[in-house]
Amino acid sequence: MDVRGKVAVVTGSSAGVGRATAELLARLGAKVVVNYARSAHDAEETVRGIRDSGGVAHAFQADVREDAQCRALIDSAVSTYGSLHILVNNAGMTRFIAHSDLEAVTEEVWDEIMGANVRGTFNCTRAAAPHMKAAGEGAVVNVASVAGIGGGGSSIPYGASKAAIINMTRSLARTLGPEIRVNCIAPGFIEGRWLRGGMGDDRYEETKRGVTERAPLRAVASPEACADAIYALIGHGVHVTGQTLVVDGGATL
């Protein structure tokens, strides 16, 4: 898909992987809706940066756990730009809970994580699908994690939610073809404030060092590297659907 002139919604794009993806798509000529749940300042900063660079974007607040808000988010893209071609389901959350601390995994934790990560991905894709079919083409990329493959990650519910996204990617790819391709990336350790804030400085640096040492590419992923992988599935993977691309420098080999 040539993204020039296409319309894209990137959920959770006020920072991190989502921001890097929104900026990349806009730089390549797409019109982008920058979604956020709470970080209005960061979202507007992202939009300003895109516009200052000559791109087209606007911000839209929506909590992806809520179906009505997802539909409003998609409607904002279509009503503003006339159509929809690209959806990146990046919004998500976690709790940093040791896997051995089973009692800390409450119903609230399950509801929050599965709601944002799994239900949100489904809600946005369902809302987007009719518009993509009307446009005659569509590309959906979901953001999972290697935790969904190996069962690691920040908490057991987080790993389970990312495994569900990988499984759902396959189901949606079968359901929404031939007009819409649905793929997924599964990053490993991503440098940035999200992991640093959850892990704390010392654990963050120790983990980053360990992953770097064992990865064949001797590096951890950056948000920009993840954005490049997302774009590859949108812009170049024209005969690829239902697949999950691991972006971890080979650390899980």
Q: Are residues 17 and 25 in contact, defined by beta-carbon separation less than 8 angstroms? A: no
Alpha-carbon torsion (14, 31, 178, 183), positive or negative: negative
The DSSP-derived string for 82-109 is S---EEEE---------TT-GGG--HHH
The DSSP-derived string for 112-147 is HHHIIIIIHHHHHHHHHHHHHHHHT-EEEEEE--TH
- Spell out where the chain has E strands: 7-10, 31-36, 56-61, 86-89, 138-143, 180-187, 244-247
Catalytic residue among 36, 81, 158, 231: 158
- Structure letter (DSSP) for residue 192: S
- Active-site residue flag, 158: yes
Peptide bond into 178 cis (omega under 30): yes
End-to-end CA distance of the chain: 31
Amino acid found at 163: A
Tokens of 27: 């730089």
How far is CA 154 from each of CA 53, 160, 188, rounded to the nearest angstrom?
Answer: 36, 11, 12
Catalytic residues: 158
